Amino acid sequence: MSGAKREYPFAYRRVLLKVSGEMLMGDAEFGLNPSVIDGFCDEIADVAREGLQMGIVVGGGNIFRGTLGEQLGISRVSGDNMGMLATLINSLALQARLEDKGIPTRVMSAINVDRFAEPYIRRRALRHLEKGRTIILAAGTGNPFFSTDTAAALRATEIGAEILLKGTKVDGVFSDDPVIYPDAIKFDNMSFIDVLNKHLRVMDSTATSLCMDNKIPIVVFNLHDEGNLRKALEGQKIGTLVN
């Protein structure tokens, strides 16, 4: 029927997407890969246009890693502070590409950098989402010793996300690193307790516990494969579901 309202295509209204900084490198060893970022932002733009409310937490490992800090003799606190700034660089890059594609965004930072980003204030973040803006949540939790995984779990809880999507380079959670061990077993479903007890590298234990306590399921999936983000949002069986 002409003019009929299109049915909403996704299984969720509000989600938190966690992306590692390494995802933005592509096959390079450092920095930002323009084609990878462009393809990634194309997928986000497509779902944002259909009314999905999304928060994004991006890591900074493509710019600064903790192991590099150790090699340079930098303290953990200083290294984590440098990592927070790296996430801000990545967040601004995502914002630029998304807005080039017509998607309104706000970068919100856990540390005070008001020349570049808004401060993260929960009520303001919720208002942006309700207004149809994609929010990019930079600088982790704003504190050292907490990973961007933990920041993603915390922000997912605060904004009322129905699910936390963790985009990775592999197809889900495996018994061992599938890059090193080709015969590693992939898990389709896992409980939070199993992830914690088996010390599997889904997210760090703080992030996993936070999602468990607040009943926020996690889907770990391969973000490099085109179309996987939409499949995860539609509720298709993809990657590994932790709940």
- What per-residue confidence (pLDDT) applies to 72? 84
143 or 65: which leads in pLDDT? 143
* Angle between helix 205-213 and helix 148-159 axes, rounded to 10 deg: 10
CA atoms of 101 and 40, how far apart (whole Å): 12
- pLDDT band of residue 218 (cuts 50, 70, 90) is very high
Per the domain annotation, does 9 fall within a domain?
A: no
Q: Note down the domain range covering 181.
A: 14-242
- The residue type found at 142 is G
Q: Which long-range contacts (CB under 8 A, 24 or more apart) does 177-183 make?
A: 177/201
Overall number of domains in the chain: 1
Residue 3 forms part of a structural domain: no
Burial pattern 202-213, b for ≥16 Cβ within 10 A else e, equals bbeeebbbbbbe
CA atoms within 13 A on the CB side of 10: 19
pLDDT score, position 90: 96
Domain of 68, CATH number, reads 3.40.1160.10
Question: pTM of whole model > 0.85?
Answer: yes
Percent of the chain with pLDDT over 90: 72
Q: What is the mean pLDDT of residues 36-51?
A: 95
- The span from the CA of 26 to the CA of 32, in Å, is 8
What gap in Å lies between CA 27 and CA 33, rounded to an integer? 8
pLDDT value at residue 238:
92
In the block, residue with structure tokens 């309202």: 5
Residue 144 lies in a domain: yes
- Confidence bin at 198 (pLDDT 50/70/90): confident
7 domain residue, yes or no = no
pLDDT of 2 reads 53
- 179 touches 33 (CB < 8 A): no
pLDDT above 70 as % of the chain: 98
User: At 18, which helix (H) or strand (E)?
Assistant: strand 14-19
Asked whether residue 161 carries a pLDDT value surpassing 60, the answer given is yes
Instruction: Give per-residue pLDDT as tens, 94-128.
Output: 999 999 999 999 999 999 999 999 999 999 999 99
Of 179 and 209, more confident: 209
Q: DSSP label at 191? A: -
C-alpha 59/C-alpha 19 separation (Å) is 6
CA torsion angle 11 194 215 172 (round to 10): -30
Structure tokens at 164: 């936390």
Residue 131 placed within a domain:
yes
- For residue 4, being part of any structural domain is answered with no
